[in-house]
Amino acid sequence: MKPSVVTIEPNGHFCSDCAVRGSAVCSSLDAAELKEFEHLGRRVHFSSGETVFSEEDITTSFYNVLEGVMRLYKLLPDGRRQIVGFALPGDFLGMNLSGRHNFSADAIGAVTVCQFAKAPFGRFIEDRPQLLRRINELAIRELSQARDHMVLLGRRSADEKVAAFLLGWRERLLALKGPSDTVPLPMSRQDIADYLGLTIETVSRTFTKLERHGAIEIIHGGISLLDPARVEALAAA
Amino acid sequence: MKPSVVTIEPNGHFCSDCAVRGSAVCSSLDAAELKEFEHLGRRVHFSSGETVFSEEDITTSFYNVLEGVMRLYKLLPDGRRQIVGFALPGDFLGMNLSGRHNFSADAIGAVTVCQFAKAPFGRFIEDRPQLLRRINELAIRELSQARDHMVLLGRRSADEKVAAFLLGWRERLLALKGPSDTVPLPMSRQDIADYLGLTIETVSRTFTKLERHGAIEIIHGGISLLDPARVEALAAA
DNA sequence: GGCCAAAATTGATCTGGGTCAACCGCGTTT
DNA sequence: AAACGCGGTTGACCCAGATCAATTTTGGCC
């Protein structure tokens, strides 16, 4: 992706009516703190395919996803890619020890983030253990997800991977958009393949197989879960 | 493994001369805090193969590994196992959100841990943001390792997996035992296979292949890196 | 030492998913 | 509307690693 020309809203946004107010890092802050916090972040927009940060970049900012979906991935020198996760509104990105991001992040479709410069954010945390605790919670949640994903990558068959992915993705959207058997899939087949450790052909074939068996219906921009129980059985867990 | 009969040293240990004093969670505490901290933990021994905690258990304790090696793993209902990591002295276990461990932990050989009851430990952290920050650091480091491992599981060949494992394991031991081309492997071939998402036969064959090519020598309880550069080239990153 | 069980190695064969290649559908450009 | 490009699907074939099946080696334990 080409270097992005980002649009920065100069000001005029308020944390208090932010869409992710309840679920993001800032959920640990009270009204007074929020007022102060407001000055630290700035909304930044990225359009489809733009890279928000790269693996080898020195970390200068933290990011709070407000809208849209991002793919988080690592590349091997020869170009093989592993997507380590998809980021959704409420997710917090940029934590690391080395001072460098250890994965890259691209926008899938239009994305809005709340960007914080590293230093002032660090200072703000300093005397607010509540916020640190919240960040720790998010890290631990991600760690748990990462371990689940290791099981999927190391020990599950292609069918199980795809079924587990569909259910897991639906589950994540549930918190954001409410329950639905229609599961939008904004990412490409290649993204799904790189997330599951498969090839694009295998993902495609598995989708059509699920459809032939009446478990799902492939619709434009996503799938419809016709038989959730069947898909759950396939996911085998 | 059968329910363990653990040996508890009644008292008489001191954090100040603990082997992992410098690297573990407690590295964030000063001398005075350490004095208080000392009363919270108790040393517990486990012998080879004993289970320290299980995936579905409710978390009642945190653990700081003092001596030995543990395998951390998740099981699928049908018995397939994925080892999500090996714990070494200095590693901190038990953090979670759900109130349940999300993986199981067995001793590989004799293990000593410093065990903390959840509630008092939580209270101790309460007004010690330094300790919380340290725990956060450890979580972030693990997260980074978890992502690397996802790349390995999803996108690397068997040869690359084995080579990367040997180098990674040597790297971890470096911090504990100093540099060496002799790499002890206390875990079984089955453990290695379940860590790499392979079968025991493939691990065994890959070892012998590496030996035939003169890259390593298989010795009792481990391997010797005869040609580190060759192994690094095989690991392909 | 000799015996047994578990761990590791090795060989033969099979197969799930990868690779290579053709093709389809659809939105965009000219 | 023809031509193009791109994401996705489908088919034919192949191979890395799994599976199945013997051995061989190792490690307690009387």
pLDDT in tens, A17-35: 888 998 899 898 888 888 8
Cα separation, B131 vs A143, in Å, equals 19
CA angle A175/A88/A123 to nearest 5° reads 110
Q: Indicate which of B147, B194, B195, B232 best probes the interface with A, i.e. most A CBs within 10 Å of its own CB.
A: B147
Cα separation, B86 vs B192, in Å, equals 10
CA-to-C1' span, A109 to C26 (A) = 19
**Which positions in strand C are less than 7 Å from the protein's CB atoms?**
7-12, 16-21
CA-to-C1' span, B115 to C24 (A) = 62
Fold designation for B7-146 = Jelly Rolls (2.60.120)
Residues in chain A with CB shorter than 8 Å from the CB of B84 are 147, 150-151
| CATH 1.10.10.10 residue ranges for chain B | 156-235
Closest-CA residue in chain A for B74?
A: A151
pLDDT of residue A22: 86
- Mean pLDDT value of segment A132-159: 97
Q: Which of B132, B194, B197 sits opposite A132 (nearest CB)?
A: B132
CATH 1.10.10.10, applies to B156-235: yes
pLDDT of residue B4: 45
pLDDT of residue A183: 97
Say if B151 is an interface residue toward chain A (CB within 8 Å).
yes
Instruction: State whether the beta carbon of A208 lies below 7 angstroms from any atom of strand D.
Output: yes
With b meaning 16 or more CB within 10 Å and e meaning fewer, what string describes A80-105? bbbbbbbbbbbbbbbbbeeeebbbbb
Does the distance separating the beta carbons of A149 and B237 come in below 8 Å? no
Dihedral sign (CA B196, B202, B206, B207): positive
Q: How many CB atoms lie within 10 A of CB A44?
A: 19
Cα separation, A83 vs A69, in Å, equals 13
The answer to whether B97 and A143 have CB atoms below 8 angstroms apart is no
pLDDT of residue B83: 98
Fold designation for A7-152 = Jelly Rolls (2.60.120)
pLDDT of residue B12: 53
Locate B150 and state its tokens. Answer: 């996802």
Report percent pLDDT > 90 for chain A: 82
Give Cα A202 distance to the centre of its chain: 23
Closest-CA residue in chain B for A128?
A: B129
Q: Which of B80, B95, B197 sits opposite A153 (nearest CB)?
A: B197
Nearest Cα to B222, choosing from B175, B182, B176?
A: B182
Nearest Cα to A105, choosing from A168, A44, A63?
A: A63
pLDDT of residue A10: 45
Say if B156 is an interface residue toward chain A (CB within 8 Å).
yes
Report percent pLDDT > 70 for chain A: 95
Say if A97 is an interface residue toward chain B (CB within 8 Å).
yes
Q: Indicate which of A78, A123, A143 best probes the interface with B, i.e. most B CBs within 10 Å of its own CB.
A: A143
Q: Which of A96, A144, A150 sits opposite B82 (nearest CB)?
A: A150
pLDDT of residue B23: 86
Say if B49 is an interface residue toward chain A (CB within 8 Å).
no
Torsion of CA B191, B192, B198, B204, to 10 degrees: -110
| CATH 2.60.120.10 residue ranges for chain B | 7-146
The answer to whether B161 and B152 have CB atoms below 8 angstroms apart is yes
Measured CA distances, B108 to A33, B47, B111, B165 (Å): 48, 8, 7, 17
Does the distance separating the beta carbons of A137 and B140 come in below 8 Å? no
pLDDT of residue A36: 87
Q: What string of H, E and C letters represents the secondary structure of chain A?
A: CCCCCCEECCCCCCHHHCCCCCCCHHHHCCHHHHHHHCCCEEEEEECCCCEEECCCCECCEEEEEEEEEEEEEEECCCCCEEEEEEECCCCEECCCCCCECCCEEEEEEEEEEEEEEHHHHHHHHHCCHHHHHHHHHHHHHHHHHHHHHHHHHHHCCHHHHHHHHHHHHHHHHHHHHCCCCEEECCCCHHHHHHHHCCCHHHHHHHHHHHHHCCCEEEECCEEEECCHHHHHHHHCC
Hey, which residues does A86 pair with through a beta bridge?
A: A71
Please write the tens of the pLDDT for every residue from A188-228. 999 999 999 999 999 999 999 999 999 999 999 999 999 99
Measured CA distances, B105 to A113, B154, B193 (Å): 38, 23, 17
Is pLDDT larger for residue B146 or for residue A15? B146
Closest-CA residue in chain B for A104?
A: B147
pLDDT of residue B165: 98
Instruction: State whether the beta carbon of B197 lies below 7 angstroms from any atom of strand D.
Output: yes
CA-to-C1' span, B49 to C4 (A) = 21
CB < 8 Å & 24+ apart, contacts of B124-131: B124/B36, B124/B37, B124/B40, B128/B29, B128/B33, B129/A129, B129/A132, B130/B28, B130/B29, B131/B25, B131/B28, B131/B29
Residues in chain B with CB shorter than 8 Å from the CB of A142 are 143
Cα separation, B73 vs B69, in Å, equals 13
CA-to-C1' span, A190 to D7 (A) = 9
pLDDT of residue B5: 46
Please write the tens of the pLDDT for every residue from A70-108. 999 999 999 999 999 999 999 999 999 999 999 999 999
CA angle B146/B149/B154 to nearest 5° reads 125
pLDDT of residue A11: 47
Please write the tens of the pLDDT for every residue from A32-44. 888 888 899 999 9
Residue A12 has pLDDT above 80, yes or no: no
Cα separation, A67 vs B10, in Å, equals 54
Say if A130 is an interface residue toward chain B (CB within 8 Å).
no
Look at the block and give the residue holding tokens 């009851």.
B117
Cα separation, A36 vs B173, in Å, equals 45
pLDDT of residue A237: 73
Nearest Cα to A136, choosing from B24, B72, B125?
A: B125
Residue B167 in 3-state DSSP?
A: helix
- Per-10-residue mean pLDDT of chain B, 237 residues long, equals 45 77 88 88 94 95 96 97 98 94 96 95 92 95 98 98 98 95 97 98 98 96 96 90
Cα separation, A137 vs A151, in Å, equals 22
